């Protein structure tokens, strides 16, 4: 099976290379802004804008004649072209979002990028892109040392099971990374190593992940200690940042410290989530999770940070492809499946259960169980019960509350918005 996979490596550029990286990022930003201005002009005059290919043609004509643009040669020509493609995609997505074809939060019109106020990033899709040992080779930039070994990808490139399609270079806090989009030939086993195994997974706010399998074994994965300690430090650093004077050198320093720490926490979290999801996907054929209204939960400020931290969306995405690689499947219980409110012992359903109640107490059968554990058992049993309210990442089996036809529910999509163009990701009563 051919899959697209990303391999991301932290770079250790020399000071000269770092300047070249910043220059390329600046070129990408310039091209985006140049293209956006051209599109806005045309839109005002003719009610339509330019495509990415049209922008690229115009740029190629202008860059040779306009002496003010003579600096373009300092950067790879690929970077400009990719920036126009990005702009093209952003404009299309904006239209799709406005007409309701795109699910999720409503997108705004693409905006101009400002140095220091946007993500520094650029992409190559042609030219020499390689990696070996602790170095990568990129068009125009040449060989750049990496902070970590590239062995995982290099081995695949050597034995011909991978092909690099593009390379995106970006800066997070003070570190540059390259992310290769790679077409990988994966050996996907048609059958899972543990046929018939099922696990229900509850994504928690306090514990990162609680799972119960069909033998009743509970797996609890709390976020790593580094993450919890990191969050305390994050609070301290953001307070320090707020206490500095706006526009001062100290504020810039505090902002850099905060950004570096943010990046570190994100790394620790992603690492923990990868480990947890790999563990589940390799051991269980069927993984059942809940469909959570992530946008709705993020709108709830009290929960916002905790939810964002646990990365619900990330977990779902990871489980989706990892179960596929292992010959298993991911099932998503629809959003109205009452996994938390139902008693896993007798099946009785409580009318409501406030989030603050961390223990489930059943008044009918007397069951007392951790809230997350109870929910995970319900999800696991749902798969075994024939699953009338499950969907396999496709359309809902059950119609929504307003009797709408089954439709694919991306996390964070308002179902109450029936008409096209009004899907605005409003938080449902959570």
* Residues annotated as part of the active site: 202, 290, 372
The nearest distance, CB 88 to Zn ion, in angstroms, is 56
Query: Closer CB to Zn ion, residue 104 or residue 345?
Result: 345
Please tell me whether residue 38 adopts helix, strand or coil conformation: helix
Q: Which residues of 390-429 are buried (b: 16+ CB within 10 A; e: fewer)?
A: bbebeebeeebeeeeeeeebebbbbbeeeeeeebebeebe
Query: Closer CB to Zn ion, residue 289 or residue 379?
Result: 379
The nearest distance, CB 289 to Zn ion, in angstroms, is 23
The Cβ-side half-sphere exposure at 269, using a 13 Å CA radius, reads: 23
Query: Closer CB to Zn ion, residue 9 or residue 360?
Result: 360
354 contact partners, CB below 8 Å, separation of at least 6: none
The nearest distance, CB 345 to Zn ion, in angstroms, is 4
Query: What is the rounded distance in angstroms from the CA atom of residue 327 to the CA atom of residue 319?
Result: 12
| 345 touches Zn ion by CB under 5 A | yes
Evaluate whether 331 touches 198 at the Cβ level (below 8 Å).
Answer: no
Query: Using CB under 5 A, which of 343, 376, 382, 423 touches Zn ion?
Result: 343
The Cβ-side half-sphere exposure at 90, using a 13 Å CA radius, reads: 16
The nearest distance, CB 331 to Zn ion, in angstroms, is 24
| 188 touches Zn ion by CB under 5 A | no
Cβ neighbourhood burial of 231 (10 Å; 0-12, 13-18, 19+): middle
Q: Around Cβ 278, how many Cβ atoms within 10 Å?
A: 15
Evaluate whether 277 touches 315 at the Cβ level (below 8 Å).
Answer: yes
Query: Closer CB to Zn ion, residue 72 or residue 360?
Result: 360
Site string for Zn ion, 362-391 (x = CB under 5 A): x-xx-x------------------------
Query: Closer CB to Zn ion, residue 364 or residue 404?
Result: 364
Q: Contacts with Zn ion: how many residues (CB under 5 A)?
A: 8
Element (H, E) at 331: strand 329-333
Structure tokens at 210: 């609680």
Helix/strand/coil (H/E/C) assignment for every residue in 200-215: EEEECCCCCEEEEECC
The nearest distance, CB 147 to Zn ion, in angstroms, is 53
The nearest distance, CB 341 to Zn ion, in angstroms, is 11
Of 62-70, 358-366, 376-384, 412-420, which part binds Zn ion (CB under 5 A)? 358-366
Contacts with Zn ion by CB under 5 A lie at 343, 345-346, 348, 362, 364-365, 367
């Amino acid at each position: 099976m051919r899959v697209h996979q990303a391999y991301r490596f932290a770079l250790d550029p020399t000071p000269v290379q770092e300047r070249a990286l910043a220059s390329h990022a600046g070129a990408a930003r310039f091209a985006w802004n140049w293209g956006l201005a051209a599109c806005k002009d045309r839109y005002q005059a003719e009610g339509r804008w330019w495509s990415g290919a049209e922008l690229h043609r115009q740029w190629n004509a202008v860059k040779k004649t306009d002496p003010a643009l003579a600096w373009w040669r300092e950067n790879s020509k690929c970077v400009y072209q990719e920036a126009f493609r990005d702009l093209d995609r952003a404009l299309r997505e904006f239209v799709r979002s406005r007409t309701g074809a795109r699910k999720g939060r409503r997108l705004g019109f693409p905006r101009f990028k400002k140095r220091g106020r946007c993500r520094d990033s650029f992409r190559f899709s042609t030219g020499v892109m390689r990696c070996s040992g602790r170095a990568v080779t990129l068009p125009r930039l040449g060989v750049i040392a990496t902070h970590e070994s590239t062995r995982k990808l290099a081995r695949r490139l050597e034995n011909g099971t991978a092909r690099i399609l593009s390379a995106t270079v970006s800066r997070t806090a003070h570190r540059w990374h390259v992310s290769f989009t790679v077409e990988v030939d994966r050996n996907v086993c048609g059958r899972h190593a543990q046929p018939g195994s099922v696990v229900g997974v509850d994504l928690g706010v306090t514990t990162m992940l609680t799972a119960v399998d069909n033998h009743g074994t509970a797996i609890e994965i709390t976020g790593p200690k580094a993450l919890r300690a990191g969050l305390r430090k994050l609070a301290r650093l953001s307070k320090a940042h707020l206490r500095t004077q706006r526009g001062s050198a100290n504020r810039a320093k505090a902002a850099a410290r905060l950004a570096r720490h943010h990046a570190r926490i994100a790394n620790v979290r992603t690492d923990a989530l990868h480990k947890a999801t790999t563990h589940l996907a390799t051991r269980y054929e069927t993984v059942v999770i809940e469909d959570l209204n992530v946008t709705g939960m993020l709108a709830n400020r009290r929960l916002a940070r905790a939810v964002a931290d646990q990365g619900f969306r990330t977990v779902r995405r990871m489980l989706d492809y990892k179960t596929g690689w292992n010959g298993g499947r991911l099932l998503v219980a629809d959003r109205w499946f009452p996994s938390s409110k139902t008693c896993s012992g007798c099946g009785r359903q409580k009318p409501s259960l406030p989030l603050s109640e961390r223990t489930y107490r059943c008044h009918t059968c007397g069951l007392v169980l951790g809230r997350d554990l109870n929910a995970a058992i319900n999800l696991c049993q749902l798969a075994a019960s024939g699953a009338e309210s499950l969907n396999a990442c496709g359309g809902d089996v059950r119609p929504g509350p307003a009797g709408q036809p089954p439709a694919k529910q991306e996390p964070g999509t308002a179902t109450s918005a029936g008409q096209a163009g009004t899907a605005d990701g409003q938080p449902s009563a959570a």
